[in-house]
Chain A
């Protein structure tokens, strides 16, 4: 898939993934890479940015399998952002699809 497409929707996917339930870094990367094929390394900087912009909160949970895991939790600000991005995505997708349908005729 076009890498510019991916970059644009990555934030939306990460936000909605955390919104469904709290996730830790690796789990999130796994779930996101199922949808879009991205360089896994670049998801961590995105998580960092979303945390710095107060869309996410983090907390540590002890793990039986190794070091404590950092979980990401969406804030109310993050939910607002998600809503906005979702709306934008839906209208964008709709208009693009309509345009494509019309030009096919």
Chain B
């Protein structure tokens, strides 16, 4: 390894530290290498004597009380980022949207806020999301594909999405009620030993809603990934038809070629179309069916 590559790699691996510290460390190694070069040693030999860079980095980070584990998890994270699944990214987007609206609600109505008003905002969000689902259908109609079943499909999808979102958000408010009810039970419990049936029902609801709440996070990511998959499905469908058309076209051209009619330009175009549309459709299929894993 050359001096420049060694120093560059070392700098990259030390990036958790402050820049001034990194410069300081790099300068020490650089001086060392320069002194050794003066003695007539070869660049590669000097760097080989340093041993593995990871070992040096680990020792250096120890000097700053940064544990190996941090270094390891950091490098693992970097590798893991690439493998992050489609669903997770969609989940993150979904979370940020939801938390954005929740924050908005908190700002407008402060802390607890008026539950009725926050509910209205949530309903508006649902309506907005359902409206965006209409977009691909408009797109298809715009292209000129008109199909009476589209309206029906849209209604079904909108109903499913709306149902899921409502379920999640209503559970969210229920949980608040549940907490209040829980507190009330605790207070009453001190006074009366026998709890009424209604209260036990509420307590049951509370524990249930808390466990549901934990599932909510994964549900939100699930819903968002479902929405994106639906979008992609309507993209992939026409492309699938185009792909099939391309292949038929290619077949016809090859048949013509066999009969002595040479259309080289058209053949190349058909080949290109086939390849690109196949690639796109398989990509869509991958995401829709396997969730981009």
User: Residues on A close to B: CB < 8 A?
Assistant: 25-26, 29, 39-42, 44-49, 52, 65-67, 69-70
CB of A70 within 8 A of CB of B28, answer yes
User: Residues on B close to A: CB < 8 A?
Assistant: 24-25, 27-29, 31-32, 34-35, 38, 49-51, 55-56, 59-60, 62-64
**Which secondary structure dominates chain A's binding surface?**
helix
CB of A46 within 8 A of CB of B31, answer no
Q: Which residues of A contact B28 (CB under 8 A)?
A: 25, 44, 47, 70
CB of B31 within 8 A of CB of A66, answer yes
Name 16 A/B residue pairs within 8 A (Cβ), A-sorted: A25-B28, A39-B55, A41-B50, A41-B55, A41-B56, A42-B56, A44-B25, A44-B56, A44-B60, A45-B59, A48-B60, A48-B64, A67-B27, A67-B31, A70-B27, A70-B28
- Other-chain contact of A49, B49, B51, B56, B63 (Cβ < 8 Å): B63
**Which secondary structure dominates chain B's binding surface?**
helix
Most buried by B among A41, A46, A70: A41
CB contacts between A and B, total, < 8 Å:
57
- Other-chain contact of B59, A40, A42, A65 (Cβ < 8 Å): A42
Most buried by A among B24, B38, B50, B63: B63
Most buried by B among A29, A48, A49: A48
Q: Which residues of A contact B31 (CB under 8 A)?
A: 25-26, 66-67, 69-70
Given the known interface contacts A44-B60, A49-B63, the answer about A39 and B29 at a Cβ–Cβ threshold of 8 Å is: no
CB of A39 within 8 A of CB of B35, answer no
Given the known interface contacts A39-B51, A44-B29, the answer about A49 and B62 at a Cβ–Cβ threshold of 8 Å is: yes
CB of B59 within 8 A of CB of A46, answer yes
Most buried by A among B31, B51, B62: B31
CB of B56 within 8 A of CB of A45, answer yes
* A45-B13 Cα distance, complex, nearest whole Å: 14
Q: Which residues of A contact B51 (CB under 8 A)?
A: 39, 41-42
* A52-B38 Cα distance, complex, nearest whole Å: 30
CB of A26 within 8 A of CB of B32, answer yes
* A65-B51 Cα distance, complex, nearest whole Å: 27
CB of A52 within 8 A of CB of B64, answer yes
- Shortest A69–chain B CB gap in Å is 7
Q: Which residues of B contact A42 (CB under 8 A)?
A: 51, 55-56, 59
CB of B50 within 8 A of CB of A40, answer yes
- Shortest B8–chain A CB gap in Å is 16
- Other-chain contact of B49, A25, A39, A44 (Cβ < 8 Å): A39
- Shortest A41–chain B CB gap in Å is 3
Most buried by B among A45, A46, A67: A45
* A65-B31 Cα distance, complex, nearest whole Å: 11
Given the known interface contacts A46-B63, A52-B63, the answer about A40 and B56 at a Cβ–Cβ threshold of 8 Å is: no
CB of B60 within 8 A of CB of A45, answer yes
- Other-chain contact of B35, A26, A44, A47, A49 (Cβ < 8 Å): A26
